[in-house]
């Protein structure tokens, strides 16, 4: 599990702010194939990494300055992230 937290990474204006809160990457220890410096031509080298499973989770915070609007968090996931909750 690789987890990166961001404390002050945001963009926005007076009405809306979007902040990246954290990123989690799972499955980095599930490498099934690791081929480096494979010469496939006279001036071409290929590197290859394959994972059995790899997951990414990104959490973004949306903040609105208007009282009638809702503020909240948006979570975007891809891959096997069911055990991160």
Phi–psi pair at 7, nearest 5 degrees:
-95, -30
pLDDT in tens, 48-77: 999 999 999 998 888 887 754 556 777 777
> Given the DSSP bridges, would you call strands 16-26 and 10-12 parallel, antiparallel or unpaired?
antiparallel
Give me the pLDDT at residue 82, please. 52
Predicted confidence (pLDDT) at residue 84 exceeds the cutoff of 50: no
Q: Is-above-0.85 flag for pTM?
A: no
| Contact partners, residue 14, CB within 8 Å, separation at least 6 | 65
3-class DSSP state for residue 84?
Answer: helix
68, two tokens: 């009638």
Residue of 32, 31, 26 whose CA lies nearest to 2: 26
């Amino acid at each position: 599990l690789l987890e990166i937290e961001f404390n002050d990474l945001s963009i926005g204006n007076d009405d809306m702010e979007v902040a990246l809160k954290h990123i989690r990457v799972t499955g980095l220890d599930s490498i099934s194939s690791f081929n480096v410096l494979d010469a496939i031509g006279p001036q071409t080298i290929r590197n290859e990494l394959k994972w059995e499973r790899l997951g990414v989770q990104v959490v973004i915070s949306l903040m609105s300055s208007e009282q009638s609007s809702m503020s909240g968090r948006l979570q975007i996931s891809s891959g096997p992230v069911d055990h991160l909750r």
